[in-house]
Amino acid sequence: MAAPAVNSGKTYAAAKKKKKWQPYALFFILPSFILYTLFVIVPTIGSVYYSFTSWDGISADVRFIGLANFVEIWNSPRVHNALQNTLILTISLVVLENLFAILLAMLVDKVRWLSKIFRSIFYFPTLLSGIVMGFVWAMMLNYNFGVVNQLLAKIGLGAFTVDWLGDPRYAMLAILLSTVWKGAGYYMIIYLAGLQGIPQEMNEAASIDGANGWQQFRHITFPLLAGSVTVCMVLSMISALKIFDQIAVMTDGGPGFETETLTYLIYKVGFGELRQGFGTALAMVLFFIILIITVFQVKILQKREVEM
């Protein structure tokens, strides 16, 4: 019995020796590292510097102004409005996208006929770019010739026709619904993978014990989807905080500033008003907001996973 032990020891030593760092590995790492440095690290360092300047983004006049940009951000009603719109839109999107994604995943999981076709139909909107999706919805919701108002008029509900994109009461709702339509299919795939990993025997045993559909979902399905919920909620939260395409195409931040979010405000002040320094400072603020919310959200969701 001693010989196998010696051989296994030699095998382990040989494997350990093979894992030793080899200098030629640098030749494989170097190209990616150079690209990452040029397009991520250097611009990030530059953004930190420009956030303390009054640069307009074009001229060579870069004046260092210290914390003046951040003081203006703290006191600006426009920034406060954009932050409020961002938080409202983010919370709404995280809730609705994940709710509809779970419902769609459960529906597709139960369908036995043409399940792949239904899966493709629900996933298709995620393949569209935000610009294309925004144009499609902008035409659908147009007050004069949009299909939504025309359909309402034809079925006798003409009194409910509204200017979806021009009325402050409905503009944010239009962006919310269009974004949910586009994003729910992506998270559906993640939830569907989680559902198909749940042993059917558990639901069958619960059904035999008298549990109804809601009780099975509440006490079996949803707890076992905890990992998928964590991933989807973090991804949807980050995506919502960075929403830009739909707003740019559908409302341009209007009417007024009703749909202006932090991301769109960064674009407007940086490229529209030529205040690159202020826009960069606002981008730094948004980065830390996303970082703090993400860390906080992950900790809560991971704690929930352990409890379940």
Q: What is the pLDDT tens value at each position of the chain, 308 positions in all?
A: 445 554 555 555 555 555 666 777 788 888 899 999 999 999 989 999 999 999 888 888 889 999 999 999 999 999 999 999 999 999 999 999 999 999 999 988 888 787 788 888 899 999 988 899 999 999 999 988 899 999 988 998 888 889 999 999 999 999 999 999 999 999 999 999 998 888 888 878 888 888 888 888 888 888 888 889 989 998 999 899 889 999 999 999 989 899 999 999 999 998 888 899 999 999 999 999 888 988 888 888 777 666 65
> Phi and psi of 101, rounded to 5°?
-65, -45
Quickly tell me which residue has 């036995």 as its tokens.
112
Q: Looking at residue 202, what is its pLDDT? A: 86
Report the interhelical angle of 171-196 vs 130-140 (nearest 10°).
130
Q: Return the domain boundaries, the chain.
A: 53-303
CA distance 109 to 195: 7
What pLDDT was estimated at residue 232?
93
**48 alpha carbon, distance to own chain's centre:** 24
Secondary structure letter of residue 110 according to DSSP: H
Residues 6+ apart with CB under 8 A from 172: 85, 88, 89, 258, 259
Query: What pLDDT does residue 67 have?
Result: 93
Note the residue count of the chain: 308
So what's the pLDDT on residue 15?
A: 52
* Sequence-distant (≥ 6) Cβ neighbours of residue 83 within 8 angstroms: 262
Can you tell me the distance from the alpha carbon of 186 to that of 96, in angstroms, rounded to the nearest whole number? Answer: 13
Q: Whole-structure pTM over 0.85, yes or no?
A: no
Q: CA–CA separation, 178 vs 190, rounded Å?
A: 20
Element (H, E) at 304: helix 276-307
pLDDT at 260: 93
CA dist 210 and 121 (Å) reads 35
Question: Which residues lie closer than 8 Å to 137 by C-beta, 6 or more apart?
Answer: 174, 178, 181, 246, 250
Beta-bridge partner residues of 53: 64
The pLDDT assigned to 23 comes to 77
* DSSP string computed for 167-183: STTTHHHHHHHHHHHHH
CA gap 194, 229 in Å, rounded? 9
**Other Cβ atoms within 10 Å of 52 Cβ, number:** 20
CATH number of 53-303: 1.10.3720.10
CB burial readout 140-179, b (16+ within 10 A) else e: bbbeeebebbeebeeeeeeeeebbbbeeeebbbebbbbbb
Q: How many CB atoms lie within 10 A of CB 67?
A: 12
**CA separation for the pair 131, 250 (Å, rounded):** 9
